[in-house]
């Protein structure tokens, strides 16, 4: 997933990590979306995002041995059943979209107009969406705020465990 280095303004990143490349926050978010990594309330809306659907188990963000935590019963039951029908997937737009072009929570649709999921966030031509796993191989689209249809191409990140690809 790369590194995110936070240093004093007067320090030089290459002095700390010689192979470091200084990039903008926009570049960081694009990289994160390309890898399917959620961050913060924009990508993980409180009361809506579930840990297993958000791939937090893949990042060691959920413990199945720890004591009590909010949502533990649902999370443990879902893990035990082994069926997670929706996941956050990285998506690529068929054309760059402005940040205001698609609102968070916009519906992702199949060619036949059936709901396939919800858009979470993005940057330029990449983003993340909560999609039904069974529908990621069919043509999908999303409507912009102006009503234009933009095709999206989901992908399965290379860092996911092999059994989930």
Annotate 90-147 with DSSP letters as a single string.
EEEESS---TTTS-TTPEEEETTS-EEEEEEEEETTEEEEEEEGGGTTS-EEEE-TTS
Q: How confident is the prediction along the chain (165 residues), in pLDDT tens digits per residue?
A: 777 788 888 888 888 888 888 888 899 899 999 999 999 999 999 888 877 788 888 887 776 666 666 666 666 666 666 667 899 999 999 887 775 688 888 999 999 999 999 999 998 899 999 999 999 999 999 998 888 899 999 999 999 888 655
> What does the pLDDT read at residue 116?
97
Domains of the chain listed by start with CATH number: 25-159 (3.30.1360.120)
11 secondary structure, DSSP code: S
């Amino acid at each position: 997933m790369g590194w995110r280095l936070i240093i004093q303004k007067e320090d030089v990143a290459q002095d700390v990590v010689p192979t470091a490349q200084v990039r903008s926050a926009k570049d960081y978010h694009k990289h994160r979306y390309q890898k399917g990594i959620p961050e913060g309330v924009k990508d993980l809306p409180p009361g809506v995002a579930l840990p297993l659907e958000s791939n937090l188990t893949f990042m060691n963000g959920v413990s199945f041995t720890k004591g009590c935590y909010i949502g533990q019963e649902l999370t443990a039951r879902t893990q035990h059943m082994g069926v997670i029908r929706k996941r956050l997937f990285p998506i690529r737009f068929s054309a760059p979209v402005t940040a205001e072009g698609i609102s968070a929570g916009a519906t992702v649709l199949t060619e036949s107009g059936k709901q396939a999921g919800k858009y979470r966030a993005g940057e330029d031509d990449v983003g993340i969406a909560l999609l039904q796993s069974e529908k990621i191989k069919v043509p999908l689209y999303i409507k912009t705020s102006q009503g234009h249809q933009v095709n999206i191409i989901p992908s399965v990140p290379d860092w996911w465990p092999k059994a989930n690809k």
